[in-house]
Amino acid sequence: MDLATYVNAMRDPAGLPFYPSIFQFLLVLTFALHITMVNLVVGSTFVAIWETWKRNEYGLRLSKALGRVITVGMSIAIVLGVAPLLFVQVIYDPFWYTATTLSAFWALMFLVVITLAFYAGYGFYLGNKKAEVMEAKTGWAWVAGGLLLLTALFIHMLSMEQLMPQHWKEWIVSAQGTVSYAGGEFHGIEFGRLLHFLLPSFAVTGVFLMLYSSYFKDREDYDQAYLKYVGEKGAWLALWASILAIGAGFWWLGLIPSEFHFARNPFFLIGAVVGVATTAFIGSSVYKPQEKAIPAAILMFVSIFIMCCAREALRMKHMSQAGYSIYNYPVNADWPSTILFFATFVMGLFVLYFPAIAAYQAGKVKAGEVAIIDPSIGRKAVSAMIGWFVIVAGLGIVISLKNGTLF
C-alpha cells in the first residue's frame, strides 16, 4: 500500500460534520490564542527568575506579581489548548493518531509533565505570596521552567512526526525488520523551528509588562517609578526578543525543503513584513511604553496570528507530499450539531464577559475598595447559562426518545 492510500484510508469513514475550511480557520485562530498564552507563561517564568536573582526592590516586586501570572496564564493556556487539538484530530486525524502511536509514551508523559509544571508554578506563587519583601525563592520557578521546556520539546516532536509521514515506516520498523511497539523514541527534532516558538515568549511577556504598566498607571497606591521600571523593561525585552525570533524564523526557513519554495508563500511574506513592522513599533515605544502598550499588544497578536497561518500553510505543503488534502475530506453536514456548537461558543463568550469585566474593574480600584459593576450583566450571563442547559438537556431527551434509548 502506498502512503497516499494509507493516510486517506485512515480518515474517519463518517466524514466531516461541517466544511473543513471552517475547522481550519478555527484551528489557526484557537492555536494563535493558545500559543500566545503559552508564550506568556514561559516568558513570565524566566523573567520572574531573572528579576529575583537581580535582588533589587522593583525586580522582587515584579517577580512576585509574575508568580500570579504564571498560575493563571497556565490555566488559560491549558484550556485554550484543547480547541486546536480537537480541530487537528478532526481534519488531520491520520497524522495525529499515527504520531501519538509512534511516540505514545511521550504523548502520555506530556500530561504528567504539564501537570507537574502547573503545581511547580503554583508552588512558586504560594511560596512568595505573603512575604512583604520577596526573598530569593526561585526553586519552584526553576522546576516549572524546566518542565515547561520539556513539554515544548514533546509537542514539537509530535508535531514534527505528523509532518514526516515518509519516515513513519523506518521509524517503526528497523532495518532488520523488527517492529517497535515501545513508542519511546524521539524523531524529527528541528531546533530552528522550536526556537522560533520559544523566543517569542519573551516578546509576548515584554508586551504584557507594557500593558501591566499602562493598566495600573492611574492607581494612586502604585509607585509610578516602579511602573516606569516595568514598562521600559517590557519594551526592551519585547524588542530584543522579537529581533531574535525573526532570526530564528529565518533559520527555520532554511530547514524547510527547498521544493516547497516557502520563501515565496504569501502567508510567510505577510508574516515577515508584519513581524518586522511590529518589532519596529516596539522599538519606537521603549521610552513611551504606557502610551503604546495597547497598539503594541494588537500588533503582536496580529503578527502571531499571521505566522500561525503560515504554519498551517506549511503543514498543508508537507501533507500534500503524502497525497493528503483536508479539502478532499468527505463532508456529511450535520446542521443541528453545528448550530449547537456555534451557539455554545457565542453563549460561552457572553457568560465569560461578566467575570472578565469584573476582574478588569477590580484591578482599577485601590486595594480594599469595591469595584462597581452593573449587576444586570451577571444576571443575563446566568440566564444564558440556564437557557443553554435547558436546550442541551431538552435536545438530549428528544433524541433519546426518538432513538428509543431511554426506555
Q: 314 versus 221: which is more confidently predicted? A: 314
- pLDDT for the residue numbered 229: 94
> Please, which contacts does 285-290 make with residues 24 or more away whose CB atoms are closer than 8 Å?
285/210, 285/235, 286/232, 286/235, 286/236, 286/239, 287/232, 287/235, 289/209, 289/210, 289/213, 289/214, 289/231, 289/232, 289/234, 289/235, 290/210, 290/213, 290/214, 290/217, 290/227, 290/231
Query: Residue 134 above 60 pLDDT?
Result: no
Percent of the chain with pLDDT over 70: 95
Question: What mean pLDDT, rounded, does the chain reach?
Answer: 89
**pTM score:** 0.91
